[in-house]
Amino acid sequence: MNLTIEVNNNTLQASQGETILDVLSRNGMKVPTLCYMKGLFPTGSCRMCVVEVEGRRNLVTACSEPVLDGMKIMTHSMRVIESRKTIVELLLSNHPDDCLYCERNGSCELQKLSEDLNVRERRISGNKNNYKLDVSSTSIVRDPAKCILCGRCVRVCEEIEGVTAIEFVGRGSKTFIDTSFNHGLNLSSCVNCGQCIMVCPTGALKEKPHINEIKNNLSNPDKVVVVQYAPSISVSLAEEFGFKPGQNIIGLMNAALRRIGFNFVFDTSFSADLTIMEEASELVHRVTNGGVLPMITSCCPGWVKYAEEFGHDILPNLSSCKSPQQMMGAIIKSYFAESEGIAPENIYSVSVMPCTAKKFEQQREEMTQNGISDVDAVLTTRELARLIRMYGIDIHKMEPELADSPLGTRSSAGKIFGSSGGVMEAAIRTAHYLITGKEMVKFQVKALRGLQGRKEAHIQIGDLNVGVAVVSGLKNAAELLEEVRNGRDDIHFIEVMACPGGCINGGGQPIGTDEEAVKARMATLYDIDEKDAIKASHKNPYIVELYDKFLGKPLGHKSHHLLHTHYQKREVN
Ligand code: SF4
Ligand code: SF4
């Protein structure tokens, strides 16, 4: 560190190229921000982070201003505080006053800023925003009236996801965020990833709720209501109830789900194992029979829709496997229904997912058998937390319980699906066995772990040197695919997840998820993998039983009918 600056009369060291905000954050000094997003280029457009710099006439934005040697900064002078307060008052002047009814009551950054800046009276009055709700999407509800134009959603959609489904429209006081031609999210290129919800400071973006439908079915005596939960839920729900980030509360969650009234509780990690059986078999088949390569995973519905919109040429590369959510749904309404003697139409099948795009996937026409949906409703992690509270359950007082068997018993390969790289690692374990007839000496593939947007490895499986790549964030996927289109041929298998870091950072996870929480969730998944005895999907005895008793063999007739799907080209507006 070669620079010395002074902040509020304290001397601090700084490095060339750092912004004022970087130095303040590193030293535990907080200034409020709104439009700023860690890791993206700062614009300073909201001016919430202004500070006073000696010798400068105007206040400067800490997020975008580089530090200079000898700079003297005041972060909380009267002028600075008044300026921030006025910004908040202006934002509140046309903001709807329905905080008590708002989804984000209690987790709204505008509310928090008003409180922190001691805004206690309405000094500026304006006409309330009056825009129409956009409820057209299967996954996301947009309420432009609550939008404060921070632009975070626009940036995440364009710079992380490469989708650009929403943008700034109009000028000056008539500016708002909209989809192209005001057609609504359902007709836009939106892939339903929900990353915009995760960054929105207010209630302008939220998931399409499924809670009411589920409540109705729970109180219908003619319905058998079953629930499955994705691998990442047990390590992310914890934070909603004050446990430490990443704590695995699977036993408490099982108990809470039963107290709510679900008749059967299943773990989607089981069907993640099933996905691996089919997907690894498909990979081996493609590699040994000259099939289309690289094969690309299909368990992320955000990615699948992106490929249907922007990657018509690579649709043959996508694995034909349904996602674990849909495989579990199909097995519940066939094998489970048959073995329990329940008519499939009397089963109401709910899933709890870290993901808003799963609400879209569940409603796809392809995800039905004889007109009956594989899955009937999808809750995000946030909605599950709400449901637990609504049913008056104190999760802290629960005694841990196991999920129902056999669809609740997993290998740890199924569990690590929750993290970017987990699907690939699980698939390699089984592909190795299928190709060589032997287990891997060491199951872990460390090169595929971590939060980087792209990870690659070459793995020797028998005589084959298999090139694999893992990408998360669709912009990273687009870049890798461009390399493949341009002739890169050393990669045979690609895992794509729309959300950066994978499902542990999905668009349905708790609001306020930060990098530390994501790392903690990831660490827990790999810790489970470290400690569990059964580390490969093909070694899950209940998966073996499912094939013996019902499915036959991977890629067989019944598997193909129930567990595989196809894709459609979609035109983008
Ligand atoms: S859900 Fe994803 S793709 Fe759709 S608008 Fe939000 S960030 Fe963009
Ligand atoms: S919808 Fe939310 S994230 Fe997007 S600009 Fe408005 S307030 Fe910001």
Under the banding of pLDDT at 50, 70 and 90, the label for residue 171 is confident
Could you say which ligand is closest to the alpha carbon of residue 157?
1
Q: Give the pairing of strands 72-74 and 3-7.
A: parallel
Query: Residues with Cβ < 8 Å from 566, sequence gap 6 or more?
Result: 320, 366
d(CA 444, CA 216): 44
194 in contact with ligand 1, CB cutoff 6 A: yes
Would you call 456 a catalytic residue per the annotation?
no
Q: Which fold would CATH assign to domain 3-76?
A: Ubiquitin-like (UB roll) (3.10.20)
For residues 410 and 273, the answer to whether their CB atoms sit within 8 Å is yes
Q: Report the predicted TM-score, pTM, of the whole model to 2 decimal places.
A: 0.96
Average pLDDT for 503-507: 98
174 pLDDT band (50/70/90 cuts)? confident
Asked if 89 contacts 118 with a C-beta cutoff of 8 angstroms, the reply is no
pLDDT tens per residue across span 232-265 = 999 999 999 999 999 999 999 999 999 999 999 9
175 C-alpha to ligand 2 centroid (Å): 12
Residue 352 in contact with residue 381, Cβ under 8 Å? yes
Residue 358 annotated as catalytic: yes
Distance from chain centroid for Cα 123? 39
For the chain, what is the mean pLDDT? 96
* CB neighbourhood size of 83 (10 A): 16
Nearest ligand 2 atom, CA 199: 3
**CB proximity list for 97: less than 8 A, separation 6 or greater:** 128
How open is the CA angle 144-88-193, to the nearest 5 degrees? 35
Alpha carbon of 112 to ligand 2 centroid (Å): 16
Give residue-wise pLDDT tens across range 28-51.
Answer: 999 999 999 999 999 999 999 999
Is residue 120 within 8 Å of 1, Cβ to Cβ? no
**Contact between residue 358 and residue 325 where contact means Cβ atoms under 8 Å apart:** yes
Give the number of the ligand closest to the Cα of residue 511.
Answer: 2
At 146, the pLDDT band (50, 70, 90 cuts) reads very high
Catalytic residue among 114, 269, 319, 334, which? 319
339-369 tens-digit pLDDT = 999 999 999 999 999 999 999 999 999 999 9
Instruction: Report the C-alpha gap between 282 and 304 in whole angstroms.
Output: 17
Q: Is the pLDDT of residue 573 over 80?
A: no
Taking the C-alpha atoms of residue 21 and residue 38, their distance in angstroms, rounded to an integer, is 11
SS3 for 299-321 is CCHHHHHHHHHHCHHHHHHECCE
Is 483 one of the catalytic residues? no
**Residue 79 pLDDT grade (very low, low, confident, very high; cuts 50, 70, 90):** very high
- Sequential DSSP letters for 114-179: HHHTT--S--S--PPP----B--SSSEEE-GGG-----HHHHIIIIISS---EEEES-GGG-EEEE
**Of all atoms in ligand 2, which is nearest to the CA of residue 154?**
4
User: CA 123, 124, 127, 131 torsion: positive or negative?
Assistant: negative
DSSP state letters, 353-418: ES-SHHHHHHT-GGGEETTEES--EEEEHHHHHHHHHHTT--GGGPPP-PPPSSTT---HHHHGGG
The rounded Å distance from CA 404 to ligand 2 centre is 41
Calculate how far, in angstroms, residue 57's C-alpha sits from the geometric centre of ligand 1: 40
Task: Give the number of the atom of ligand 1 that is nearest the alpha carbon of residue 166.
Answer: 5
Catalytic residue among 49, 150, 300, 503: 503
Is the model more confident about 182 or about 85?
A: 85
- Decide if pLDDT at 165 tops 90: yes
Task: Give residue 243 CA to ligand 2 midpoint distance, Å.
Answer: 29
Indicate whether 172 pLDDT > 90: no
Q: Residue 61 in 3-state DSSP?
A: strand
Q: Is 503 a catalytic residue?
A: yes
**Choice from 141, 161, 198, 572 to test ligand 1 binding pocket (greatest atom count within 8 A of CB):** 161
* Ligand 1 atom showing the smallest separation from residue 205 Cα: 6
Domain spans of the chain, in order of start: 3-76, 90-207, 212-563
Q: Which of 207, 282, 309, 425 is catalytic?
A: 282
Closest C-alpha residue for ligand 2 atom 3: 200
Predicted confidence (pLDDT) at residue 418 exceeds the cutoff of 80: yes
**Residue 490 half-sphere exposure toward CB, CA atoms < 13 A:** 6
Catalytic position from the list 223, 358, 359, 455: 358
CB 263, CB 458: distance < 8 Å: no
**Model pLDDT, residue 173:** 80
CB-CB contact of 32 with 74 (8 Å): no
Report how far residue 241's alpha carbon sits from residue 389's, in angstroms, rounded to the nearest whole number. Answer: 10
Distance 141 CA to ligand 2 centre (A): 12
Ligand nearest the Cα atom of residue 145: 2
Residue 370 identity (one-letter amino acid): N
**Beta-bridge partner residues of 227:** 265, 350
The residue whose CB lies within 8 Å of the most ligand 1 atoms, and thus the one to mutate among 154, 167, 192, 208, is: 192
Q: Is 314 exposed, middle or buried (0-12, 13-18, 19+ CB in 10 A)?
A: middle
C-beta of residue 123 within 8 angstroms of C-beta of residue 149: no
Residue 299 annotated in active site: yes
Q: Which residues on neighbouring strands pair with residue 466, listed in sequence order?
A: 459
> What is the predicted pLDDT for the residue at 302?
98
What pLDDT is attached to residue 562? 98
Average pLDDT over residues 41-63: 96
Cα of 91 from ligand 2 centre, angstroms = 12
Report the side by side order of strands in the sheet with 377-380: 264-267, 224-229, 347-353, 377-380
> Is 319 among the residues known to form the active site?
yes
Topology of domain 90-207, CATH: Alpha-Beta Plaits (3.30.70)
CB 472 within 8 A of CB 496: yes
Picking from 118-127, 141-150, 502-511, which range would have the lowest pLDDT averaged per residue? 118-127
Report the separation in Å between the CA atom of 20 and the middle of ligand 2, taken as the mean of its atom positions: 25
The residue whose CA is least distant from atom 4 of ligand 2 is: 153
Look up tokens 């519905």; give the residue. 301
pLDDT of residue 227: 98
Name all residues whose Cβ lies below 6 A of ligand 2: 147-153, 177, 199-202, 204-205
Task: Please give the Cα distance from 308 to 302 (Å, whole number).
Answer: 10
The string of DSSP codes covering 536-570 is SGGG-HHHHHHIIIII-STTSHHHHHHHB------
Q: How far is CA 340 from the centre of its chain?
A: 34
What's the CA angle centered on 200, arms 196 and 203, to 5 degrees? 115
Which atom in ligand 1 lies closest to the alpha carbon of residue 194? 1
| Residue 22: closest CA among 84, 57, 86, 71 | 71
User: What fold does the segment set 212-563 form as a domain?
Assistant: Rossmann fold (3.40.50)
Q: Which ligand is nearest to the CA of 158?
A: 1
What's the CA-to-centroid distance between 139 and ligand 1, angstroms?
A: 10
Contact 29, 16 (CB under 8 A): no
Catalytic residue among 340, 345, 366, 516: 366
Supply 349's token pair: 């099948």
Q: What is the pLDDT of residue 307?
A: 98
